[in-house]
Every structure is written in structure tokens, then in C-alpha cells.
């Protein structure tokens, strides 16, 4: 029932367009290696087939012929997203194409501030930019537990500010 309410293909294509808009290199990198179909096999979940092919990109649960498979647990997937490094132990099939695809995405220099501005408004974007520019000047941010808590609280405040801004304008 949820699938009928959300057009997954349309959502994926919008996400890819937004990522391409926020990154000068990603669109060209994806065009060079498209079309690609790969299988995301997360332990305990249904297989997810992802097609990257310009405006015809898609996510489905319907079995398709794929170039490579990523077989991992949910924790492994989170580690890949956080670290930006895809372990060859998780890849089955054409590992070279998998590494090129994930390398292109990771090295694309996506402009997070642009995406925050687009989805959450200009106030949270400016707020996030000011905080990120100050906080990333120090390499000790990740070591200090208080800094991590502060960043979480600032993100929460930015979300609340955007909600207030939306209520005020409606």
C-alpha cells in the first residue's frame, strides 16, 4: 500500500537531480558509467534493484539482471555511508564498476548547504553554514563528546526554526 502512495522512481530521480545540481562533477561521472543496474542485498530485507540511467533511474523490488551486488548488513551499509569506503568483501560481480560508481558519488563534492537551503529553507542553511565553518576549523571536534552533543542540538534547533518559518509564511 505504501508503494502506491509514494512514487519511488520519481523520488529517486528527484534525489539524483538534486545531487547533480549540488555537485559540478557528479552528473558527468554518472553519465560516463550509465546505465548501471545493481542489487542491494541487505541481510533480513527484500532485495532492492537500483538502476542509474539519467532521468530513467529507478528503484524496484522486481528481479532484474544486474552488474554487481552489494551483500551486507544494515550496519555495513551505514559504515559505507559514513566512511565513504566500499569494502570489496561486500561486492559480488563486477567490483570495478561498483568502486567507480561509489567513488564518483563520494568524490562528487555535493554541496550540503545548497541541499539544506533547498529542502529546509535559507535560515537553516545560513545557520548550518556558520556553524560548520566554525566547527570544522578544529580537528578535535570528533574527539570531544560535548562538541558532538552541541552539533546535534544545533541541528535540532535548525529544524525547529525552519518549522516556525514555514508556519509563519502559511
Tens-place pLDDT, residues 95-116: 888 888 888 777 777 667 777 7
Give the per-residue pLDDT at 140.
Answer: 47
Tens-place pLDDT, residues 118-139: 777 777 777 777 776 665 565 4
Q: Which phi and psi angles does 58 have, rounded to 5°?
A: -155, 155
Whether domain 2-106 has CATH 3.30.1050: yes
pTM exceeds 0.75: no
Domain extent listing, the chain: 2-106, 112-169
Amino acid at each position: 500500500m505504501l508503494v502506491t502512495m509514494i512514487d519511488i522512481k520519481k523520488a529517486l530521480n528527484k534525489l539524483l537531480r538534486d545531487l547533480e545540481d549540488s555537485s559540478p562533477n557528479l552528473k558527468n561521472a554518472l553519465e560516463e558509467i550509465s546505465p548501471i543496474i545493481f542489487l542491494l542485498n541487505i541481510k533480513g530485507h527484500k532485495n532492492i534493484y537500483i538502476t542509474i540511467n539519467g532521468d530513467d533511474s529507478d528503484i524496484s523490488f522486481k528481479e532484474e539482471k544486474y552488474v554487481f551486488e552489494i551483500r551486507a548488513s544494515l550496519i555495513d551499509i551505514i559504515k559505507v555511508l559514513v566512511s565513504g569506503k566500499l569494502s570489496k568483501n561486500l561486492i559480488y560481480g563486477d567490483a570495478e564498476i561498483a568502486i567507480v560508481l561509489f567513488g564518483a558519488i563520494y568524490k562528487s563534492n555535493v554541496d550540503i548547504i545548497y541541499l539544506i537551503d533547498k529542502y529546509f529553507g535559507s535560515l537553516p542553511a545560513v545557520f548550518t553554514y556558520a556553524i560548520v565553518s566554525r566547527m570544522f576549523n578544529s580537528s578535535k571536534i570528533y574527539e570531544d563528546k560535548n562538541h558532538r552533543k552541541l552539533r546535534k542540538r544545533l541541528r535540532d534547533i535548525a529544524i525547529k526554526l525552519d518549522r516556525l518559518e514555514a508556519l509563519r509564511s502559511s
